[in-house]
Amino acid sequence: YVMINGGQLNGPIVGSIIGAMSFGAFGNQVKNTVPVLVGIMIGCYLTGVDVASTSALVAAIFGTTLAPVSGYYGPLAGVIAGFVHITLVSHVVVMHGGLNLYNNGFAGGFVAAVLVPIFEIFEGIRQDIKERKAEG
């Protein structure tokens, strides 16, 4: 992701990558991480944030904490979660004195806490439609 967006490997980015590698122990994989990163890229482009900047790359790498949302609810949910994450993390950066794991974790938790109930509602609607088609 860093190289695709033209970023440079520096201390914060390498540290973020090492930290995000631990997410792999909890189910992060390419299939559920890519939609989140796509949502983050879309969010960067729409808000005018330089995708290759260190802060955007660190936010994207730590944003992969939302990959389980993508894995459970599908790629579209991952794109939405990534988009909301990058817009929120850029606003909570002031609370923690800079972009770091703390505000990315806070933003990721907040995004999941808000979006998962919404996705559950849509999942229930989808299941109802599926059951009605099966019945009739």
> pLDDT by residue (tens digit) across 45-100?
999 989 999 989 999 999 999 999 999 999 999 999 999 999 999 888 777 777 77
How high is the pLDDT of residue 34?
96
By residue range, what is the domain housing residue 101?
A: 11-135
4 in a domain, yes or no?
no
The residue written with tokens 């944030």 in the block is 49
Domain total of the chain: 1
Task: Give me 103's structure tokens.
Answer: 């505000």
127 in a domain, yes or no?
yes
Please report, for residues 57, 58, 92, the alpha-carbon distance to residue 63 in angstroms, rounded to integers and kept in the order given.
9, 8, 14
To the question of pTM greater than 0.85 for the whole model, the response is: yes
Per-residue pLDDT reduced to its tens digit, 10-56 = 998 999 999 888 888 877 899 999 999 999 999 999 999 899 999 89
